[in-house]
Amino acid sequence: MTAIEATDAYTGPASRAAVIVRRHTGLALTLLAPSLVFLVLFTYWPIVQVALDAATLTTFGSKSVSYGFGNFARLFGDPAFAHAVSNNLIYAVGTVVPSIALALALALGLEEATGIATTIRTVVFFPVLIPLVAAAALFLFVFLPGIGLLDHHLAKLGAPRTNWLGDPDVALWSLIGLTVWKNAAYYMLFFLAGLQSIPADLYEASRIEGASAMQRFVRVTLPLLGPTFAFVVVIALVNVVTQVDHVVVLTKGGPSDSTNLVLYYIYQQAHENYDTGKAAAATVVSLTALAALSVLSLRTLERAVHYET
């Protein structure tokens, strides 16, 4: 922020035209108004509503309403919610770590824009572009026990058949595999951009000082990719909290809640069990997690912007 303010102070007094513009507070608010109306209606007001719902306690058959933490007590007492949270944590670590490792490996391997590298970049980017729903529909067949793409080829290696989506111990990992397949190349783009921004003379200097390839990677590449890592981790985590399309299409949270994620749990409570209080309480929990993430991401966003300019 400070850098930006400093720019203002520099250009501000120098230009009389700018001073005139700055008196037009009314015009500024008019320009902002349409955006603010939509933000208030569909982001801020719903947050207030959800907080109110979460605190509102109704008794079946009576009109009287009281307020308290009863919904949260019910939520935290619900084993299905605990299950969804623990699934979500496994899903977070299981998707974020491998997809980022893969993304970095791909970026390092495909950095040079040779013919082959460009082709493979294109190929691995396809999954990013197809809808998650479409990816899930394709993986219905990949995961089909016995004759599906996975089992068909694993059988050739002598592996036993697996019920990829029907076995509670395996199903969540199948969804994790699908998610890594879908997102890794997206994160690769950011690493490619990060690699390009590392000055070549740093490598040159470390080479002259006799650093090995491994040393150069650990001492130069990794530290300078720091902001990229921070940024990619944040978007990957946001994806973990906000994307359940594949759960809807492939497993509906089953078998026996083994693939239920928090957002799908909220959806179930609201649209299948009509339990507004519990759904709202779970939403508040999710929002808190996202708020923590956005504090993190604002920092990285700001840093990324400064880094760039």
Decide if residue 233 touches another protein (CB under 8 A): no
The stretch among 60-68, 90-98, 113-121, 156-164 that binds another protein (CB under 8 A) is 113-121
- Please work out the total of residues on this chain that contact another protein, with binding judged by CB under 8 A: 107
Decide if residue 140 touches another protein (CB under 8 A): yes
Decide if residue 298 touches another protein (CB under 8 A): yes
In the list 186, 233, 236, 240, the residue contacting another protein (rule: CB under 8 A) is 186
DSSP string, 162-189: --TTT-TTTHHHHHHHHHHHHHHHHHHH
Residue type, 106: L
Minimum distance, C-beta of residue 306 to another protein, in the bound complex (Å): 11
Decide if residue 62 touches another protein (CB under 8 A): no
Residue type, 227: P
Near another protein in 201-230, by CB under 8 A: 203, 213, 216
Decide if residue 156 touches another protein (CB under 8 A): no
Token pair of 33 as six digits: 């108004």
DSSP run (H or E) holding 266: helix 262-271
Token pair of 240 as six digits: 């973990």
Decide if residue 137 touches another protein (CB under 8 A): yes
Decide if residue 32 touches another protein (CB under 8 A): yes
Please choose, from the candidates 38, 62, 73, 103, the residue with its C-alpha nearest in 3D space to the C-alpha of residue 236.
103
Token pair of 236 as six digits: 């990957």
The stretch among 68-76, 87-95, 161-169, 274-282 that binds another protein (CB under 8 A) is 274-282
The stretch among 28-36, 61-69, 72-80, 162-170 that binds another protein (CB under 8 A) is 28-36
With vertex at residue 274, the alpha carbon angle to CA 270 and CA 275, rounded to the nearest 5 degrees, is 80
Please choose, from the candidates 294, 281, 198, the residue with its C-alpha nearest in 3D space to the C-alpha of residue 242.
294
CB atoms within 10 A of CB 37: 10
Decide if residue 29 touches another protein (CB under 8 A): yes
Minimum distance, C-beta of residue 167 to another protein, in the bound complex (Å): 19
Spatial distance between the Cα atoms of 157 and 143, rounded to a whole number of angstroms: 17
CB atoms within 10 A of CB 102: 18
Decide if residue 133 touches another protein (CB under 8 A): yes
In the list 47, 73, 82, 218, the residue contacting another protein (rule: CB under 8 A) is 47
3-state secondary structure of 66: strand
Decide if residue 193 touches another protein (CB under 8 A): yes
Decide if residue 294 touches another protein (CB under 8 A): yes
Minimum distance, C-beta of residue 79 to another protein, in the bound complex (Å): 22
